[in-house]
């Protein structure tokens, strides 16, 4: 195995800035084949990625973490993507039900530290159960989301999953996303039409007022200290240069190298 750092991706990320989302997805499919999956929480941008995969007739699985406390509308959106787009959605679940977790640990989501642990147990850990199955995951992060995502790269290493995260929508602003949704009549989580700009678990998500930031409805009861769940590595501290371990051949393909083995 060889080492791939975030710094190694600088040049290819610059080159990919001019690519369309569909071109980036095509590159991902060609590079990773069946070692590629997408990840979605059934929100607006994730639905756009799902529609693109459907339109491209791409046989890419979508990983979906069902925390056991999601809104019914979110589960219904997943089912519609399966039925109407013909997508294969792999539903991942935490080891304990929310009732079992509360019996053992109490109500974690009522404190800042507890929220981090709860999100780790119910979102991150189920995803980590797939570690080693995929070399790359397609996400739906966008720079127009602001905060840490304003600097989100197209390609980002994910040390916990030991895979590459691919963000084909990073350069789409809200208008571009809405235009795509209207043009293609994209299946959307109905909660987006009910005041929810972002959608997570039903315990910790509320509607957002027009003048509020988009993520104001996430963990509102904890104030401004809890904004992200931690399942996306680029939402976390990027002060260090993270790295992952992949085969040298795959790293060469990611970086666009042509290796000559003839001596």
Helix spans in 56-147 (H):
72-85, 98-105, 112-119, 125-128
- Cα distances from 158 to residues 69, 155, 174, in angstroms, run 26, 10, 26
Q: Which of 118, 152, 201, 229 is catalytic?
A: 229
Annotated catalytic residue 229: yes
Q: Say how far apart CA 8 and CA 213 lie, in whole Å.
A: 34
Q: What angle do CA 141, 58, 143 make, to 5 degrees?
A: 10
Helix axes 44-55, 174-184, angle to 10 degrees: 50
Q: Say how far apart CA 82 and CA 85 lie, in whole Å.
A: 6
Q: For residue 36, which phi and psi values (nearest 5 degrees)? A: -115, 140
Residues designated as active site: 229
């Amino acid at each position: 195995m060889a080492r791939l750092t975030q710094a190694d991706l600088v040049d290819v990320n610059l080159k990919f800035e001019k690519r369309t989302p569909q071109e980036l997805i095509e590159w991902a499919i060609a590079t990773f084949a069946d070692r590629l999956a997408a990840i979605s929480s059934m929100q607006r941008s994730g639905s756009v990625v799902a529609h693109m995969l459907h339109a491209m007739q791409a046989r890419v699985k979508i990983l979906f973490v069902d925390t056991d406390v999601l809104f019914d509308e979110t589960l219904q959106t997943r089912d519609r993507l399966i039925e109407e787009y013909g997508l294969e959605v792999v539903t991942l679940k935490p080891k304990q039900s929310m009732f079992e977790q509360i019996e053992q640990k109490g109500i974690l989501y009522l404190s800042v530290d507890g929220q981090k642990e709860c999100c780790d147990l119910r979102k991150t850990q189920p995803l980590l159960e797939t570690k080693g199955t995929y070399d790359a995951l397609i996400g739906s992060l966008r720079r127009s989301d602001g905060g840490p995502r304003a600097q989100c790269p197209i390609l980002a290493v994910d040390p916990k999953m030991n895979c590459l995260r691919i963000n084909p929508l990073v350069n789409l602003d809200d208008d571009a996303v809405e235009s795509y949704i209207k043009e293609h009549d994209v299946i959307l989580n109905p909660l987006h039409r009910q005041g929810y700009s972002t959608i997570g678990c039903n315990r910790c998500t509320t509607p957002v007022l027009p003048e509020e930031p988009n993520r104001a409805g996430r963990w509102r009861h904890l104030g401004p200290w809890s904004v992200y769940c931690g399942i996306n590595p680029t939402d976390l501290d990027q002060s260090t240069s993270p790295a992952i371990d992949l085969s040298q051949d795959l790293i060469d393909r990611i970086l666009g190298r042509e290796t000559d083995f003839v001596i």
